Amino acid sequence: MIVLTGATGGLGSQVLRYLLILVPPTDITVSLHNPAGLSPSIASSGITVKQGDYADPASLDSAFTGADKLLLISYPSIAHELRVRHHVNAIDAARRVGVKHIYYTSLAFGYGTTPESCAEVMQAHLDTEKYLKESGLKYTIIREGIYNESYPLYFGFFDPSKDTEVYIPNDGPIAWAARPDLGEGTAKLLALPPSDTRYDNTTLLFSGPQANLLSLHQLAPLISRILGRPVNVHIVSEDEYVRRHKDESGSNVRGTEDFLRKWATTFEAMKRGETGIVDPTLQEVLGRPLKTMEESLREMLTAQGEGEAIKQYAK
């Protein structure tokens, strides 16, 4: 039995979609914060649906019981301690109920660098990775690449319906990866038989391909071409970055000074080269070329509802 958390989310829903092609639905359970968020067609596909809240250990015990493998999708927040607490709850529950192997979706900052990352958003992942390695359980840590689909968050909270000037505190190379590719690659790892131990007790980097290695300055001409108008990137001080993006109304978490100062560390990490490592593992696992950033941008910039990306990643 494979239990998936986060299967209503952007990454988890892609993992589930591909896992359903690889294993019988009766071998899949989803542990969901909000089971009503699952599409009716998936809910009736033969999988088991359970309620599991990272904040409620008893619900996790119940949802993870019977699992050989657990996919632990990271809690979507920049709140370091809360995020780690939720992940620790899940790892402890898995251990209590006898899960054999945990797959954890970490993030692609600082792979192989020392110290591992200066990005605030990476710290909860590093703590979780350490806790998981010390848990005694079999693990596979997947440093999931920076999503093509999340580019507005890095590109100065870009709103393609009106923005032409983009203000960021630093820049650096990013090996962008498409979320469906990451989902498919993660599903393929989950579906491997226990006799295939290649990825046991390892930390993998699922990056995008060399062709997707693009700084934010290099994204600008691609976006300009698709939108048919100029888009210019400006490197400004952290204070100016905060001032330009601050939203005093408090209606939006990404507009708070606290969030913006933490988020600015992401750009420092990019400048250090933390997001610029290209690794062949994802392409090898998929056995086909990966989706390009340009393809994703064309899809997103010519579709309705681009603003949804900002709302989703601002949590």
Ligand X SMILES: NC(=O)c1ccc[n+]([C@@H]2O[C@H](COP(=O)([O-])OP(=O)(O)OC[C@H]3O[C@@H](n4cnc5c(N)ncnc54)[C@H](OP(=O)(O)O)[C@@H]3O)[C@@H](O)[C@H]2O)c1
Provide, rounded to whole angstroms, the least separation between the CB of residue 77 and ligand X.
7
Identify which range of 71-79, 132-140, 254-262, 294-302 contacts ligand X by CB under 6 A: 71-79
Q: Which residue in 70, 73, 204, 290 binds ligand X (CB under 6 A)?
A: 73
Would you say 5 or 123 has its CB closer to ligand X?
A: 5
Give the interface size with ligand X as a residue count (CB under 6 A).
Answer: 26
- CB count within 10 Å of CB 260 equals 20
- The answer to the question of residue 34 lying near ligand X (CB under 6 A) is yes
Provide, rounded to whole angstroms, the least separation between the CB of residue 285 and ligand X.
17
Would you say 229 or 315 has its CB closer to ligand X?
A: 315
Q: Which residue in 21, 26, 37, 81 binds ligand X (CB under 6 A)?
A: 37
Q: List C-alpha distances in Å: 200 to 12, 53, 73, 194, 286.
A: 21, 26, 18, 9, 18
- The answer to the question of residue 172 lying near ligand X (CB under 6 A) is no
- Interactions with ligand X, residue window 249-308 (CB under 6 A): none
- The answer to the question of residue 54 lying near ligand X (CB under 6 A) is yes
Handedness of CA 53, 58, 61, 63 (dihedral sign): negative
- Interactions with ligand X, residue window 117-156 (CB under 6 A): 144, 146-147, 150
Provide, rounded to whole angstroms, the least separation between the CB of residue 13 and ligand X.
7
Would you say 30 or 248 has its CB closer to ligand X?
A: 30
Closest by Cα among 279, 268, 292 to 181: 292
Identify which range of 63-71, 74-82, 165-173, 201-209 contacts ligand X by CB under 6 A: 74-82
Q: Which residue in 2, 3, 4, 6 binds ligand X (CB under 6 A)?
A: 6
Would you say 48 or 229 has its CB closer to ligand X?
A: 48
Give the position of tokens 């290695």: 213
Would you say 32 or 166 has its CB closer to ligand X?
A: 32
Half-sphere exposure of 133 (CA within 13 A, CB side): 12
Q: Are 191 and 285 in contact (CB under 8 A)?
A: no
Identify which range of 33-41, 208-216, 228-236, 289-297 contacts ligand X by CB under 6 A: 33-41
Would you say 179 or 245 has its CB closer to ligand X?
A: 179
Q: Are 99 and 137 in contact (CB under 8 A)?
A: yes
